Amino acid sequence: MPAIPIGQERYLANGSNSNAAALTAGRWAPTMVNGRLCLNNDGNLPLVDVAGALSAEIGFFGPGSDNGSFNFRLWAADWAVAGGGRERGHLELWLMGTGTATLSTLQGITGGQVVLATERIADTLTWTKSSESSTPKGPMTKKETQYSEGTSDVYSPADNTPARLILPTLGRASALVMEVTSRTNVTTGNCWIAPARY
């Protein structure tokens, strides 16, 4: 049965101006911020529900200069299950991988709901999936091998054409979190996430 894309969802209303990593693998208790479950109190680390999705694509953008860039970490969350259902009180976080998004001259559109006219779209991406020897460590390489659903990669044209992170498997994750860890000539880093359900 083919994948059914559900469309691009803007991750953050205003992007993240973070310049440091805040998340680590392990147990977390999310909090509700402005109607979204988040891993911090300022709301720039929300959980995007991907339960039931096998794959996803992600595009990156933000206000900044042409060739400005930001580094990011992509995390996956597995909800704790208690009493036959999801216990939304806590989850386990694991690293999918790290990357860098470099912005282009291409911008969003006036009235756009995903990418605004004031935001530049990344045309260049790097991606390093997590492993037992990566820093920080994570199980993504092992999950891709064991589940045999494809290998994560980037489409990175570097010619003012939108780049994409392609994730053929989400490693059975319940939710995703994109964390901006540093910025160069970028005001805030952001992304859209498009899971595909089967």
**How does residue 195 score in pLDDT terms, banded at 50, 70 and 90?**
very high
- Please give the Cα distance from 180 to 188 (Å, whole number): 9
- Please give the Cα distance from 38 to 97 (Å, whole number): 19
Q: Tell me which residue range forms the domain holding 32.
A: 4-197
**25-59 pLDDT, tens per residue?**
999 999 999 899 999 988 899 999 998 898 999 99
**How does residue 4 score in pLDDT terms, banded at 50, 70 and 90?**
low
Name the E strands within 19-152: 26-28, 31-33, 36-38, 48-49, 53-62, 64-82, 85-107, 120-129
- Please give the Cα distance from 102 to 151 (Å, whole number): 22
Q: Is the pLDDT of residue 19 over 80?
A: yes
- Please give the Cα distance from 99 to 89 (Å, whole number): 29
**How does residue 169 score in pLDDT terms, banded at 50, 70 and 90?**
very high
**102-122 pLDDT, tens per residue?**
999 999 999 888 999 999 999
Q: 160: exposed, middle or buried (C-beta count within 10 Å: 0-12, 13-18, 19+)?
A: middle
**How many domains is the chain built from?**
1
Mean pLDDT over the full length of the chain: 92
Q: What is the pTM of this model?
A: 0.93
The residue type of 198 is Y
**Nearest to 121, CA basis, from 147, 168, 159, 79:** 159
* CB of 133 closer than 8 Å to CB of 116: no
The pLDDT assigned to 143 comes to: 94
* Three-class secondary structure of residue 44 per DSSP: coil
